[in-house]
Amino acid sequence: MINNNPIGLFDSGIGGTSIWKEIHELLPDENTIYLADSKNAPYGQKSKEEIVALSFKNTEFLLQQNCKIIVVACNTATTNAIKELRATYSVPFIGIEPAIKPAATHSKTQTIGILATQGTLNSELFHQTAERFQNTKIVEQIGHGLVQLIENGEINSVEMTNLLNSYLQPMIEANIDYLVLGCSHYPYLIPQIKKILPENIKIIDSGEAVARQTKNILKEKIGFNNQLEKSTQVFYTNSNPKVLTSILNNKYPVIYKDF
Ligand code: DGL
């Protein structure tokens, strides 16, 4: 099947690029459009209604650019709005949810930790997933302040280290053997997190699974790009493009647009 339209992705900010990287690695010939709604970040403390409204706005923007599939590269938007998005639009949506299942399935201590936003941890969808793993203790922690620091380009700051320490120490004490990163911004914190966690605690996120799922849906329902020229990767932000440019290692131009 052939479809040369781009894959669209959106996030509350720059974090969803961790998902974009996985998708681009698996599907390098696909054109992509990434939308960073950094002006409205963080989504994590907003109400469900606000998150749904912002997710619709981002979707409209991507549909205007003829995206053939939309990847909601944000756990908070997925857990709060994907049902409403799917009920409204006919385009397929790929969502990202905390990887509770692999962590709970493989945990030997039957105790796992999850670091995510308030919006994700309070969502109905997250509770439904967590309830399926009654035999596993899930230590939940809201990552207050982490997204703002990442959006400000302060990944390696002392404040970041202090926050991570305060969030992870209680999990270590609770004897977790898996830490689930339930926010697409957090994979950028893995080097710092590794400095804090003992080696036996594994860190997992959902990026690779989302990329595989995107590929499957393209294969089964939508079609792949078959244009011979090099694929294009377009990035939009409605805030200062500096941090997004640098998280992409200055390899791609970033377009500022007030959407
Ligand atoms: N990247 C989002 C997520 O995966 C962001 C959260 C936020 O904006 O608070 O949940």
pLDDT value of position 30: 98
Nearest atom (ligand 1) to Cα of 16:
1
pLDDT value of position 111: 98
Measure the CA dihedral 88/93/98/104, to 10°: 110
Nearest CA to ligand 1 atom 2: 74
pLDDT value of position 221: 96
* Whether residue 38 is found in the same domain as residue 51: yes
CB 111 within 8 Å of CB 37: no
Nearest atom (ligand 1) to Cα of 185:
1
Q: How far is the CA of 246 from the centre of ligand 1 (A)?
A: 19
User: DSSP character for 27?
Assistant: -
Write out pLDDT tens, residues 175-194: 999 999 999 999 999 999 99
| CATH classification of the domain holding 138 | 3.40.50.1860
* Whether residue 117 is found in the same domain as residue 199: yes
The answer to whether position 176 is within a domain reads yes
* Whether residue 76 is found in the same domain as residue 12: yes
Which residues form the domain of 140? Answer: 100-204
Residues of the chain with pLDDT under 50: none
The interaxial angle of helices 75-88 and 124-131, nearest 10 deg, is 110
The answer to whether position 49 is within a domain reads yes
Asked if residue 46 has its Cβ within 6 Å of ligand 1, the reply is no
Tokens of 246: 């640098």
The answer to whether position 2 is within a domain reads no
The number of residues in the chain equals 259
pLDDT value of position 228: 85
* Whether residue 80 is found in the same domain as residue 121: no
